[in-house]
């Protein structure tokens, strides 16, 4: 159960990282 939760969190973080970077780049630039 805990491993499944950690896996889901990892997938979400990895999936959102490029989106967050793109948003930050657009906001800054």
Question: What distance in Å separates the CA atoms of residue 25 and residue 19, rounded to the nearest whole number?
Answer: 10
pTM tops 0.85, yes or no: no
pLDDT of residue 23: 96
Q: pLDDT tens digits, the chain, 29 residues: what are they?
A: 789 999 999 999 999 999 999 999 999 98
DSSP for residue 18: H
pLDDT of residue 29: 87
DSSP for residue 29: -
pLDDT of residue 1: 74
Question: What distance in Å separates the CA atoms of residue 17 and residue 23, rounded to the nearest whole number?
Answer: 10
Across 1-29, the runs of DSSP E, i.e. the strands, are none
Residue 24: burial class (beta carbons within 10 Å; 0-12, 13-18, 19+)? exposed
Q: What angle do CA 27, 22, 7 make, to 5 degrees?
A: 130
């Amino acid at each position: 159960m805990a491993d499944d939760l950690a896996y889901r969190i990892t997938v979400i973080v990895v999936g959102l990282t490029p989106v967050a970077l793109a948003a930050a780049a657009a906001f800054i630039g």
